[in-house]
Amino acid sequence: MIILIVIVFAILGFVVSNKLKSKFKKYSQTPLQANLSGAEIAKLMLADNNIHDVQVLSVEGQLSDHYNPTNKTVNLSPDVYYGRNAAATAVAAHECGHAVQHATSYTWLNLRSAMVPVQNISGKILNIVLIASLFGGYLLGLPYELIGYIVVGSYGVMTLFTLVTLPVEFDASNRALAWVQQRNIVTKPEYDMAKDALHWAAMTYVVAALAALATLAYYVFVFFGNRD
């Protein structure tokens, strides 16, 4: 069953990822009428939100764009940093949306940030216990039921992390789209392209959350589903 879950969501994730890449490629071919690069758009959005302590940097990779709250940097891939199109606009504004969340202490972002160390620890515990469970728990000297509680608890934390990520990502996209529209950065067709690109970007997180929920349900069934 776990193999089936992995295969199904791996295929679904592959399809969504390819769709995102194709959308980004398609929307990168139409020059932005405002003729602003992703970097220029990011700096403008930050300034409009009175954020002056965040740097906009170019980083290697494709769709490697992210906001780093630790050092307060908006990191854009070359295609986005230098791009002057709807796709670059959408991604740059989205990452700045995270910077705005950080600056305004957005509740879901704060919760997600607080969960990062707990999620990392849970992942390490889960790896150790799952390996030990292959030997009936004897490597840890723990009864099967206790291992079940640890596995479900650890994976529950990881699943919660993926769920908390959803409102963070959707809110960042909403902030981005509202700003580019209000600022007249994009035309109506360009706005529709930006919205579509961000939709498919969000779907990658939705698939990850669904996969986590399905896997958690599987572990609950394996360890506790056969009780009388």
Contact 200, 22 (CB under 8 A): no
- Is the sign of the CA dihedral 92, 94, 95, 98 positive or negative? positive
* Amino acid letter, residue 178: A
Contact 45, 91 (CB under 8 A): no
Let me know if 95 is a catalytic residue: yes
Distance CA 108, CA 124 (A): 24
Residue 109's Cβ-count burial label (10 Å; 0-12, 13-18, 19+) is buried
Rounded to 5°, angle at Cα 88 from 41 and 106: 65
- Contacts from 187-195 at CB under 8 Å and sequence distance 24+? 187/33, 190/30, 190/32, 190/33, 190/86, 190/89, 191/86, 193/27, 193/30, 193/86, 193/87, 193/90, 194/27, 194/86, 194/87, 194/89, 194/90, 194/93, 195/90
| Catalytic residue selected from 95, 145, 169, 190 | 95
- Residue 35 contacts by C-beta under 8 Å, 6 or more apart in sequence? 84
Tell how strand 73-76 and strand 55-58 pair up: parallel
Catalytic center residues: 95
